[in-house]
Structure 1
Amino acid sequence: MTSTPDSPGTTPRKARAKRSRAESGGSRAEKKEQTRQALLDATIDLVDDRSFGSISLREVARGAGIVPTAFYRHFASMEDLGVTLVEDAMRVLRRALREARRDLSSRGMPTARDSLSTLLKKVHSDESQFRFLIRERHGGVAEVRRAIATELLLFSRELAIDLARVPTLTEWGAADLEVAADLVVSIMMTTVAELLDGDGREATERALVERAEKQLIMVFLGMAQWKPER
């Protein structure tokens, strides 16, 4: 028996695999969760080279192997699905940088090279989710855009809490710590965007990472000289 290639508009292989598992054994709750995940995976497939605002509920449902009306058993709207994608992608980003700063309090200032190396690995392994975050950060769907802004703010505050544990920063106030954390997060997000928009050559990637490393080092050096307001 020969297989035929996917024709335009058919379900992507990854989403079909999810659907197949959803249709196999398991409790009703498990099947519902599997179908919900299939909807998320189908959406990530669709937004790989398109904006979230350009895809339709019908396309997402078809990609997950369900009828459009069944979509509402899992998400209240396309905007709701988009916000869930943001939350999932931000969890990936948090894990990427948390690994590099896990022992921040004992080591002092974070190591720029280690942080960027960890981030680079995550970008390569979860490129679709990072591409979605970068594209929709200034995209046309307001709910998704606001969700990304909120998640990045929370991430900056989480980093600020870690920075407060650094011995040389114990006298810093919350406002100064959050400004420093915002700078670090902005550099990281800009680097991700440049990596995703790059030509894929190793030399180009290395140059982008080295530039980001210099930027982070400058931030860390500036933090060491900053006199916090009392």
Structure 2
Amino acid sequence: MSDEATAAPESRQERKQRTRRAILDAALDQLADNGFGSLSLRRLTKAAGIVPTAFYRHFSTLDELGLSLVDESFMTLRGLIREVRRGDPAPETLIDRSVDVLVVQLEEHKAHFRFIGRERQGGSPTLREAIRHELDLFERELVTDLARMPGLERWGAADLHVLASLFVDLMVAAAGELVSPSAEQPATRRQMIENLRNQARMIVVGAVGWEPLGEA
């Protein structure tokens, strides 16, 4: 008997997960060049191969679908960044590891990060807030790491949050460039990545000479 004939039948839960995945993938395709506000339930369900009423078995609203895309976009990145920071690496090592992780994630999940870059600045207030929350989590985790680094022991919370914010803003801006059409050119992409590394190193150099602010 063939493998196909002896394969176990797909369970109800497996069918549900497959349909949910089809909806999410169809949404990313629909949002490749347009904002979330342009998403049409009729076009989306047609692309996913389901009837419109079946959508509501998986998501109560389009915003809930958008929140799932936000969570997917950050979920793997969160885990990888935590792994990068394991062992309290030196600042230069942390920069290189973080840039490498970001570049790989952007290449593997380009559609997700194009969606994030677009929705961070406009569109649904619900999605903007969710994205802001995810970035705030990155910033708070980075503050904890920075506080353990040599030379920053005297820094207060305000200083550490400013430094962490600079890093997060730099990474977000670089992510937008690295998923843009111009980054498809290998030479341009290499230059963007090198610029990102140098900008991050400049932030570290500036931090070394920073005189900590007094706590309010």
TM-score by length of structure 1 reads 0.80
Counterparts of residues 134-213 of structure 1 (less than 5 Å): 134-197=117-180, 198-213=182-197
User: What is the rounded CA distance, in whole Å, between the counterparts of 2:172 and 2:80 in structure 1?
Assistant: 12
User: Amino acid of the residue matched to residue 86 of structure 1?
Assistant: V
Post-superposition offset of 1:187: 0.7
Map of 1:58 onto structure 2: 42
Map of 1:16 onto structure 2: none
Post-superposition offset of 1:99: 4.1
User: CA offsets per residue over residues 84-114 of structure 1, 9 Å max, x none?
Assistant: 10111012332453343333x2x33243333
* SS across alignment from 2:91: coil
User: Amino acid of the residue matched to residue 212 of structure 1?
Assistant: L
User: What is the rounded CA distance, in whole Å, between the counterparts of 2:63 and 2:156 in structure 1?
Assistant: 37
Asked if 2 retains the 8 angstrom alpha-carbon contact of 1:75 and 1:81, the reply is yes
User: What is the rounded CA distance, in whole Å, between the counterparts of 1:192 and 1:84 in structure 2?
Assistant: 20
Counterparts of residues 18-167 of structure 1 (less than 5 Å): 25-103=9-87, 105=88, 107-111=89-93, 112-167=95-150
User: What is the rounded CA distance, in whole Å, between the counterparts of 2:104 and 2:24 in structure 1?
Assistant: 22
Post-superposition offset of 1:40: 1.1
User: What is the rounded CA distance, in whole Å, between the counterparts of 1:26 and 1:110 in structure 2?
Assistant: 49
User: What is the rounded CA distance, in whole Å, between the counterparts of 1:42 and 1:167 in structure 2?
Assistant: 47
Name the Cα RMSD after superposition: 2.0
User: What is the rounded CA distance, in whole Å, between the counterparts of 2:35 and 2:76 in structure 1?
Assistant: 20
Q: Which moved more, 1:44-53 or 1:183-192?
A: 44-53
User: CA offsets per residue over residues 4-44 of structure 1, 9 Å max, x none?
Assistant: xxxxxxxxxxxxxxxxxxxx934333332332222111111
Map of 2:210 onto structure 1: 226
RCO higher in structure (CA 8 A, sep ≥6)? 2
Show structure 1 runs of 5+ residues with no match: 1-23
* SS across alignment from 1:169: coil
Q: How many residues align?
A: 205
User: What is the rounded CA distance, in whole Å, between the counterparts of 1:169 and 1:76 in structure 2?
Assistant: 47
What is the percentage of aligned positions where both structures have the same residue? 43
